[in-house]
Amino acid sequence: MTQLALFDLDHTLLPCDSDYEWGQFLARIGVVDSEYYAKQNERFYQDYKDGKLNIHEFLRFALKPLSEHSRAQLKDWHDAFMKEVINSQLRQEAIDLVKRHQDAGDLCCVITATNSFVTRPIVESFGIAHLIATEPATVDNNPVANYTGEVKGIPNFREGKIQNLHDWLAAQKLSFDQMPRSYFYSDSINDLPLLEEVSNPIATNPDDRLRQEASKRHWPILELFT
């Protein structure tokens, strides 16, 4: 029977936060007002780490630049972002972790609050075909049209990850009941709802609050990056 291996992305498979780094990259190349954007980016990032992020406010901020440029221009910038920022953050330890699950025949999926525009090329770099992310809305729901700056569906954050995961599994004609084991690797206290949902939660490079929770619940703690 199929086993499910779920991975958070930022600070779990990556030793950085791709959403934050994308914002910093846009500021550096002058796509957004550098001083304002960097300040707001820092504020939201701190709120996330503190477990008090207003996801809707953040997404209005994060998705706005996507709505102001063509898909072709955004792709060019993202290609540069991959080369300049992300490729050096693809660590062998994380690649090996994913490969162990793939070699075991597990169904592997990244599940992240960061939007799919930013994350899909990163996830593909790990050789993972499946991604559940916050989805940016497009004009007339045309998947190749320009972005609107709004969110399509439920933000993939906290309890929203559980709903989106169940919807994704149903689309695969699967459910938790069919799987002898389900794994979830995450660094963040924000992912506590989904960590509680799976049979095998693994606190991975955990933040201080998740580390305390994992110790209290006797969950394994994985320090992936040394």
**What whole-number distance in Å separates Cα of residue 210 and Cα of residue 116?**
25
The per-residue DSSP string of 155-222 comes to -SSTHHHHHHHHHHHHHTT--GGG-S-EEEEE--GGGHHHHHHSSEEEEES--HHHHHHHHHHT--EE
For residue 200, the one-letter residue type is: N
Residue 200: φ, ψ to 5°: -130, 85
Which of the residues 10, 187, 191, 207 is marked catalytic?
Answer: 10
H or E element at residue 99: helix 92-103
Which of the residues 8, 19, 187, 191 is marked catalytic?
Answer: 8
Residue 204: φ, ψ to 5°: -115, 120
**What whole-number distance in Å separates Cα of residue 213 and Cα of residue 117?**
32
Q: Is 170 exposed, middle or buried (CB count within 10 Å of its CB: 0-12, 13-18, 19+)? A: exposed
For residue 82, the one-letter residue type is: M
**What whole-number distance in Å separates Cα of residue 164 and Cα of residue 169?**
9
Catalytic residue list contains 50: no
Catalytic residue list contains 8: yes
Q: Are 173 and 192 in contact (CB under 8 A)?
A: no
Q: Which are the catalytic amino acids?
A: 8, 10
